[in-house]
Amino acid sequence: MSKSVEATAPINAGTNPAAAHGPGFRWGQLVMGIACMAMIANLQYGWTLFVNPIEAKHHWGLSAIQLSFSIFVVVETWLVPIEGWLVDKFGPRPVIAGGAILAGIGWVVNSYATTLPELYAAAVISGVGAGCVYGTCVGNALKWFPDKRGLAAGATAAGFGAGAALTVIPIANMIQTSGYEHTFFFFGIFQGVLIFIIAMFMVKPFVQKGIVASPRLVMSKVDYSVPQMLRSPVFWLTYALFVAVAAGGLMATAQIGPIAKDYGLAKLPMSMLGLTLPLLTMTLAIDNLANGFTRPLCGFLSDRIGRENTMLIVFVGEGLALLGLMKFGHDPILFMTFAALVFLCWGEIFSIFPALVADTFGVKNAAANAGTMYTAKGTASLLVPLTSVISAGGNWDRVFIFAATISIIAGILAKVVLAPMRRRSIAEANARGTPMA
């Protein structure tokens, strides 16, 4: 039975030329992964800016347009296990390069789409591309940093969360001045080219001498394959918690624009730091920063106090923030505040869950295993079009209450049920030297 990458095997520079680099080499790989993630962030977090302009031109209906968002997220997430397997086998360079091409093509197709099927086809293409980049970069972070998994996965995921903050204002301005079609085209080419160039410098992770796992966390010494992991009850409980918490955040991601419009706030001018912008544009910029900031922060925190303890704090926090947005969101300042808190308490799932998967199921197949867990985001996205139906007429209260309730329950279950179950499973697997069913 193979052991996990936490073992401090000596570097074999003869068989792996990359191993000749110093200990700082992995930090360079991490930074490049973060940059790639930032370049695909707009495929998800910039989407809400395009929804109303698309509806204004084609009159397809918000539910039909938002189905494209769900298709994108489902494809982006549900194919990551396959893409993760390719990364584990062939390394990051070809997978990221292929993802760059597809992500660019997807947004170019969006720019020409004149029917819903064309819009949905673009979502499939860009979803595959984004999944290639996302799964590769997170899997790489887990392998490069067995001693700082939460922080490394969080920093990588932060690129995806905060990357859109760098371009949300230019995208919003370009939509206003040049139309959403030109904006799709320009940023599709721009993002795709940059990711492709960075991909050429990515290498397959190698074991580095002297780097060991943190003694603060209970970790598996046994490597699970994806089929072995799928037979574990711990996986399915963790998956259910991921779906529950992801649903609320995805609802906010896709619907924050329509919510602001229904509340009569979207175009209200807001000033901050000498900059005056429409409330929706400023809210999105702040939300994306909060979404990115929380990922390394909570990843670092989970390395210190434990995964489930961190989950309890932030999942309950997300539920309370959603209820606050429902109760006080008609005030422009409080709308921006509670929207930011929702993203602050949501984005950490993309650092905590990958780290938890590597802790529980080993690091050898970390990209494929974490990618399999990541499909929970796709499952959660199926609820997004439903929110448009439930909120018909601008009544968002039922949506907020539902999302808040399942998030709070998930936080409690993480602490009370998942934590002891996971400790017991890891202890038994380590004692046997084989995966636990």
pLDDT tens track for 157-167: 888 767 777 78
Separation between Cα atoms, residue 297 and residue 331, nearest integer Å: 29
pLDDT attached to residue 207 = 65
Enter the pTM of the model.
Answer: 0.76
User: Is residue 277 classed as helix, strand or coil in its secondary structure?
Assistant: strand
pLDDT tens track for 262-296: 888 878 888 877 777 888 888 888 887 888 889 89
Separation between Cα atoms, residue 67 and residue 298, nearest integer Å: 31
pLDDT tens track for 16-33: 444 456 668 889 999 999
Is the domain covering 17-432 a CATH 1.20.1250.20 domain? yes
The gap from C-alpha 168 to its chain's centroid, in whole angstroms, comes to 17
**Which contacts (CB < 8 Å, 24+ apart) does range 195-199 have?**
195/36, 195/39, 195/40, 195/96, 195/97, 195/99, 195/100, 195/103, 195/133, 196/97, 196/100, 196/101, 198/32, 198/35, 198/36, 198/39, 198/96, 199/36, 199/92, 199/93, 199/96, 199/97, 199/100
pLDDT tens track for 418-431: 999 999 999 999 88
pLDDT tens track for 376-387: 888 887 777 777
pLDDT tens track for 30-58: 999 999 999 988 888 788 889 889 999 99
For 71-94, what is the mean pLDDT?
Answer: 87
pLDDT band for position 143 (cuts 50, 70, 90): confident
For 308-328, what is the mean pLDDT?
Answer: 94
| Domain ranges within the chain, ordered by starting residue | 17-432
Separation between Cα atoms, residue 15 and residue 127, nearest integer Å: 35
Separation between Cα atoms, residue 103 and residue 190, nearest integer Å: 10
Cα torsion 125, 131, 137, 139: sign: negative
pLDDT band for position 229 (cuts 50, 70, 90): very high
Place of tokens 């799928």: 230
| Number of Cα atoms under 13 Å in the Cβ half of residue 418 | 27
For 126-151, what is the mean pLDDT?
Answer: 89
Helix 80-90 / helix 62-78 crossing angle, nearest 10 deg: 30
Separation between Cα atoms, residue 236 and residue 355, nearest integer Å: 16
For 188-202, what is the mean pLDDT?
Answer: 95
| DSSP state letter for 41 | T
Q: What value does the mean pLDDT of the chain take?
A: 85
pLDDT attached to residue 13 = 34
Separation between Cα atoms, residue 276 and residue 356, nearest integer Å: 41
Helix 80-90 / helix 366-381 crossing angle, nearest 10 deg: 160
pLDDT attached to residue 432 = 86
Q: Is the pLDDT of residue 9 over 50?
A: no
